[in-house]
Amino acid sequence: MENLNKLMGERIAKLRKENHMTQAMLAEKLNISVRHCSAIECGNARLSIEKLIEVADLFHVTLDYLILGRRSSNKYIDLFPDSLIQSLQSGTDAELDLFKQYIQMFHKIYSSKKESK
């Protein structure tokens, strides 16, 4: 269980840093002390399930990701960096359309190379 707490704490710290937040900022959003926030990130303390849900909502990730490190049951989603997933979740419709176009273009290139073999 200690290893699970450590890994979960590392994921929370990573998400916090990716979102340009200090421990004090995260602690305030979760209504916990900075000391407790630090202990969580070091794996020396745990969050309640309610607070874990708040963290998941705050960073737009699943509880599965926070606890087990899996972003989804789809193994292909885990190929994308966390920062890309977060950008897509917070992107505008125009940005999402552009991303879809890139994926479609990549798929066409990949398919044509695969067919030529």
Name the one residue in this structure whose structure tokens are 């994926």. 103
* CB contact at 8 A, 43 and 9: yes
Please report how the helices 34-42 and 23-30 are oriented relative to each other, as an axis angle in degrees rounded to 10.
110
Domain assignments of the chain as residue spans, ordered by start: 1-74, 80-117
CA pair distance 86, 62, nearest whole angstrom:
12
**Mean per-residue pLDDT over the chain, rounded:** 87
Q: Structurally, what CATH architecture does the domain formed by 1-74 represent?
A: Orthogonal Bundle (1.10)
Please report how the helices 82-90 and 2-18 are oriented relative to each other, as an axis angle in degrees rounded to 10.
50
Share of the chain above pLDDT 70, in %: 90
- What is the pLDDT confidence band of residue 28, given thresholds at 50, 70 and 90? very high
Mean pLDDT of 40-69: 93
